[in-house]
Structure 1
């Protein structure tokens, strides 16, 4: 039976990424040496790093004056690195879910944090609007896509202060005006690569402005100056990331990727809205994530949650159980998920409705 991978992360990767990376484990770049055993200083891997950095710039039209970094530590380490490097006295945050909540907690270790708005009052099922960004903040931080709750900021905000964004789960899913941000970051294990590498797109002139001493490994300037090669980078994950970047470019870039993602998401949301057995948790359509579609059993059918999960599993659906903090169901429609998998899930939902009328 074909499996349809809806896991929220680590998540589905393109077949070509899996194949090429698996092959390189046995023979990397014709060296006769495994990717897992190659020196990060070898000319073959240096070429991988340089091509991956340039492809990220090309696909996202990154302007001059920005660096692309590939680091360890996950996005969670960035929660601390950002205020460590950028906050003098005050920062501002938009709280739209679990990850922004954790980022806020870390930022409070370094100074005053103003939460300009929060959607916690409705369990993070909407994106706050009409908030005011304080002009005395050193930066304003947003999380563009919220994997647990299924909301997404799909436009590049205008900010009177430097704008920072966690794009862990929607990077390369749509075009981004990078010039509006001083820093974009994220864990790669959603749309780019296996867990283990973190991407950072940073405007070079934003660093070096705080007075505090910064440990070497937590200082962005360290990694900018050394091109992400100050210490041993996550070689395996970066190689896989390069394969994914090549795949996106071959498809036609992020503009084409966005069209595909919009089609997949519309198909599933339309079925959720039509199907009498289910309802979406994000009711404002403009706030609905294209990457993580969250839904629950409709009123009067709550007792069938376990039955649907079992039915979906029998039909080959993998990873559709909602996050433990919210329950229900979640289908993650990342770039590499084929539209056939969405069609299979829709058919599964229709069959379940028919069987349970």
Structure 2
């Protein structure tokens, strides 16, 4: 495949240049046609590239010493977009110097910079942060929004559903992904006005005889069923989504730590661990966030992928591969097509909802870190 090059914010993440460059190099070894624009301190990048000679002919360096801090407010980071490695990586997508940007830096700052620089697609009010979570099935589940918007009305949730389904078709290969809204119960009467309104709109849009919408809406899902694999796309607002994500991650760490504690409590337990080691290693691999690394800001006029700040080089490579796959499969064009297929009724303005007037705006500092 022939792809535009990928801009990598080499200064972002907990370990910065070394891990980001190594991750890009791993991705390059897996896909020989990947090309990179490495943004950051030229001296440090060149030093890192010495360990990966195969990257020399596939990379260009854009020198920049300024870095967005991990706890920096998005509103402040925006003002330094033209001088920071993160801002220049996103700017390369806007100018066409790169087809996608990958950063492991401050999530809120990356969201704010990307939204201002790239703008949203026609028909999309707000971009959403989507990620893949492991399930009991062979496929992952797409979940959004995971923190880009603290609130979402029915119109936003419908847009999230369309974007999440398009993403799922690319990464999981489903022709019509099964989409559900996260709720406190599966009954139609449960949840907020926004949830029930969004459900009604999605049901009506997918039930039309002339609809060529590539998704199947299947009502509500509770949080304890997210990882069962029965749902392909879980849609919610960023506040609830971020809480659910952290709860899932915390539960995974709790289980692995509990097993480690149990297997080291006695000599008999240690022997049991040796016997069951293949199964525990499989569990560890399945729960390792690096194997699912690469959250995506959906709804922008361009591809921006957020790597976890503590990701290993292998995790960064996975994030780069996600960016390349979305470019190859023309994510933005798919979303635009599906929005047209959704119909005007499903995407009309809400007016007053949940006792407040929906403005469709968030402060840059409201994006989740």
TM-score by length of 2: 0.26
TM-score by length of 1: 0.27
Structure number having the greater helix percentage = 2
